[in-house]
Amino acid sequence: MGEGGLVVRAVGRVCTALWGYTPGVIPAMVATMGSGPALRWFAANFPRFLVTLRVLGPVRTHLAGLTISLVNGCTYCAYGRAHALELIHLRDRGRLFPLDARTLESWNGLSRREIGLRLRGVLEQAGMHAEVIWVDRTLALLDGAPPVDADERRIAHLCRMVGTMNAIAVAAGTVPDGAHDPVNKDAALKARLLAAQTV
């Protein structure tokens, strides 16, 4: 096994422990960046992402990631974030998110204004009015607005981190796989989601 394969395995083990699988974008990132730079990129960015997940919470973190990925036209990352959101919504609120992950991911490539309007609408429909501001601030940061506090600095980091993953996943044609969150390991919840969506 070459150096690239070792890096894919090492990063894959971490993701499998956290999410239950090795994301399909990892081999593409190692191939694109090179083994050493990819390993340094993961070491610099992934721990910070995990802190953001804890500080902002999974809903806000994945909502920002979804917004970024839709703006960047990345189906792979948009699905991973949207699937995490729909699973967390079902687990925490006991009901389906108004739209499924496949519908949400299909918004990639729309204008920023349209993405913002649609995300605001679905959040309001879900009764998540307090989360609308996170879509607005993420879009503003993507447009170059400076972060005004520690939370926005975390979102600004997500804009850079997720943006890098978006570019590589789009170029490689990486197909959606699972939720980018520990909730992906909850097989019973995923079965419950599937059953509820097929009723």
d(CA 21, CA 83): 14
pLDDT band at 199 (very low <50, low <70, confident <90, very high): confident
In this prediction the pTM is: 0.94
DSSP string, the chain: --HHHHHHHHHHHHHHHHHSS--THHHHHHHHH-HHHHHHHHHHHHHHHHHHHHHH-HHHHHHHHHHHHHHTT-HHHHHHHHHHHHHHHHHHHSS--SS-HHHHHTTTTS-HHHHHHHHHHHHHHTT-GGGHHHHHHHHHHHTTPPP-SHHHHHHHHHHHHHHHHHHHHHHHTPPP-S-SSGGGG-HHHHHHHHHHHT-
The domain over range 57-197 is classified in CATH as 3.40.720:
no
Tens-place pLDDT, residues 112-171: 999 999 999 999 999 999 999 999 999 999 999 999 999 999 999 999 999 999 999 999
At 6-40, the pLDDT tens digits run 889 998 899 999 999 999 999 999 999 999 999 99
* Spans of all domains in the chain: 57-197
